[in-house]
Amino acid sequence: MDYKKYIAEKLNIEGLSAEETAAMLEVPPQSDMGDYALPCFRLAKTMRKAPPLIAKELAAKISADGVICEVSVAGGYLNFKIDRLHRAEDTVREVLEKGERYGSSDLGAGKTICIDYSSINIAKPFHIGHLSTTVIGGALYKILSFLGYKAVGINHLGDYGTQFGKLIVAYKRWGDKETIEKGKLRELMRIYVKFHEEAEKHPELEDEARHYFKLIEDGDKEANELFAWFKELTLKEVQKIYDRLKVTFDSYAGESFYNDKMQPVIDELKEKGLLKMSDGAAIVNLEEYGMPPCLILKKDGSSLYATRDMAAAIYRKKTYDFYKSLYVVAYQQDLHFKQFFKVLELMGKEWAKDLVHVSYGMVSMEDGAMSTRTGKVVFLEDVLDKCVEKAAAIIEEKNEKLENKAEVARQVGTGAVIFGALYNNKIKDIVFSYDKVLNFDGETCPYVQYTGARCNSVLKKGGEIGAFRAETLTDEEYALVALLDNFPNVVKEAAEKYEPSFVTRFAVDLAKAYNKFYIADKIIGSEENVKNFRLALTKAVHTVLKTAFALLGIEIPEQM
């Protein structure tokens, strides 16, 4: 049962739809206050009364029934307690009935959401700095799809710019096909770093690089063959990482794809009188909006990120007719997105309001920052490998008789990397620590995975789940029921706020609550009806833990 909807319909507040009232309902911070609460402060303006008085008047309209067992007023809040037994049976049966689809909905039916994430650079390493955009975008793709939206994952490849001219120069001087085929991205990075080292001593190399990039733009056969080869090599290598992280894309249209789509944008800006000249460069003045000018063309006539991003946004609207278009990009680019969103708005694109910058904090290793130019980077592949290796050592120590140890180590190690990037609010900076992410105690990925494996073990020992009724409930059982019942709301809120950490934290809370229940309440060996209900509750917890983690791209092992 949708208890929020049930309460909202009972309240029947004048001037508000049941959906609007349901959206106002909150879960109180302490369970003894009730299961749901309606803050009446927002109603004070329209009802022209003090919130406590509104709460009293609304309380008088509702009497206890088989679902709502108590209504109380606390200041400006109207609190509701749901009949525990009704809620327990109803929730557990619904989870078991719906299985892995529990929490899903058709909320987004008929709506398309474009998600621009990962956006790796061709011929550059897939490093730890790409972790957040990749897994946040990947999780949002899964969460939004789970809610019925048509998600379109876009990998806006960095495949345009002078760096490709630099790479061609570096390849011709210090590279060869066989070495690069063997060393792949690491070898490409080695010669790219070598270019920057040499260019400091021989600045003319920069001119040579610009020349080769111009050859790419002009369609030169050799330059474009090399460029295509670098691109193919990169995509093959990064696909291995995407497969490990369970991240998928529907489009790899990168910067170069929009080369022939920028001129119409420039022409439209001119037609609408928005394009101004400043020191030889073409800009859109945004001073009255509290922003520096948005640079559209450099003095030499070449385009910039803003020009290409506007062309991409217009193309995506025409191609996908999106309901929303998300950009999962670090907070350092806040100004860039504000600027080009504003320029599109000034061009009269009413859909500019549907563009959203989903910003996030930076990831660094414990030993500091990174730079591709100097070669100080931490490959994401190495981080994943090291986490899997460390997980294998921990598993060997804790359970040397475990079957499929290598597979479990892969699930634990890879999951720990994803979880580490998705546990905190996305805007926080992360300092990645192997020891922290692989800790089996506390709020970590292995802790949740171990809880899932524990549920599985209980279900195996318990055998077939017979008929059950919820006749009595301990506090530990009800805490689990309340969490399970709230899971659909958590998923919805994660989608609305573009915040996968809501799902991550929910999984930790559910794991903690299950372990508390496991210690406090006897499952196998208790009276038949009680045993069946507790096994059903365990199965419901196992199902929801697996679903929550699947939305993040993490697996839960059967055994640990």
List pLDDT tens digits, range 255-297.
Answer: 889 988 999 999 999 999 999 999 999 999 999 999 999 999 8
What gap in Å lies between CA 462 and CA 429, rounded to an integer?
44
- The contacts of residue 444 (CB under 8 Å, 6+ apart) are 416, 419, 436, 437, 438
List pLDDT tens digits, range 146-159.
Answer: 999 999 999 999 88
Residue type, 558: E
Please give the C-alpha separations between residue 446 and each of 323, 401, 433, 454, in angstroms, as whole numbers.
37, 18, 14, 12
Q: Single out the residue of 531, 510, 532 nearest to residue 522, CA to CA.
A: 531
List pLDDT tens digits, range 302-325.
Answer: 778 899 999 999 999 999 999 999
> Helix, strand, or coil here: 3?
helix
- The contacts of residue 551 (CB under 8 Å, 6+ apart) are 139, 142, 143, 146, 491, 500, 503
Taking residue 16's Cβ as centre, other Cβ atoms within 10 Å add up to 17
List pLDDT tens digits, range 168-184.
Answer: 999 999 999 999 989 88
What gap in Å lies between CA 385 and CA 374, rounded to an integer?
23
Q: How confident is the model at residue 299 (pLDDT cuts 50, 70, 90)?
A: confident
What gap in Å lies between CA 537 and CA 103, rounded to an integer?
16
Supply 395's token pair: 């598993």
Structure confidence at residue 66 (pLDDT): 85
What fold does the segment set 3-82 form as a domain?
Gyrase A; domain 2 (3.30.1360)
With beta carbons less than 8 A apart as the criterion, state whether 310 and 265 touch: yes
The radius of gyration of the chain's CA atoms, rounded to the nearest angstrom, is 28
The string over 320-355, giving b where at least 16 C-beta atoms fall within 10 Å of a residue's C-beta and e elsewhere, is bebebbbbbbbeeeeebbbbbbbbbebbebebbebb
Supply 536's token pair: 């059903």
What gap in Å lies between CA 493 and CA 515, rounded to an integer?
25
Pairing of strands 112-116, 324-330: parallel
Q: Single out the residue of 96, 178, 132, 182 nearest to residue 358, CA to CA.
A: 132
H or E element that contains 359: strand 355-360
Supply 335's token pair: 């100004």
Supply 320's token pair: 């996908």
What's the maximum distance between 2 C-alpha atoms anywhere in the chain? 84
Q: Where are the beta strands (DSSP E) in 6-61?
A: 36-39
H or E element that contains 260: none
With beta carbons less than 8 A apart as the criterion, state whether 327 and 156 touch: no
**Would the pLDDT of 10 be above 60?**
yes
Supply 469's token pair: 């009724």
Supply 265's token pair: 């944008």
What gap in Å lies between CA 238 and CA 244, rounded to an integer?
10
> Helix, strand, or coil here: 503?
helix
Q: How confident is the model at residue 451 (pLDDT cuts 50, 70, 90)?
A: very high
Mean of the pLDDT values across residues 8-14? 93
Q: How confident is the model at residue 375 (pLDDT cuts 50, 70, 90)?
A: low
Domain residue ranges of the chain, discontinuous segments joined by +? 3-82, 112-271+301-365, 272-300
List pLDDT tens digits, range 531-554.
Answer: 999 999 999 999 999 999 999 999
Structure confidence at residue 513 (pLDDT): 97
Mean of the pLDDT values across residues 466-488? 94
What gap in Å lies between CA 391 and CA 412, rounded to an integer?
6
**Would the pLDDT of 373 be above 60?**
no
Q: Which residues are catalytic?
A: 124, 127, 130
> What's the full length of the chain, in residues?
560
With beta carbons less than 8 A apart as the criterion, state whether 209 and 198 touch: no
pTM above 0.85, yes or no: yes
Backbone phi, then psi, for 299, in 5-degree steps? Answer: -55, -35
Q: Under CATH, to which class is 112-271+301-365 assigned?
A: alpha beta
Q: What is the DSSP letter of 357?
A: E
Q: How confident is the model at residue 368 (pLDDT cuts 50, 70, 90)?
A: low
* Chain-centroid distance, C-alpha 108: 17
CA angle 531, 83, 34 (to 5 degrees): 115
Residue type, 385: D
Please give the C-alpha separations between residue 202 and each of 195, 205, 215, in angstroms, as whole numbers.
10, 6, 21
**Dihedral (CA of 504, 509, 515, 517) sign:** negative
Mean of the pLDDT values across residues 466-470? 91
What gap in Å lies between CA 298 and CA 283, rounded to an integer?
9
Question: What whole-number percentage of the chain has pLDDT above 90?
Answer: 75
DSSP character string of 206-250 = HHHHHHHHHHHHTT-HHHHHHHHHHHHHHHHHHHHHHHHHT---S
Q: What are residue 356's DSSP bridge partners?
A: 326
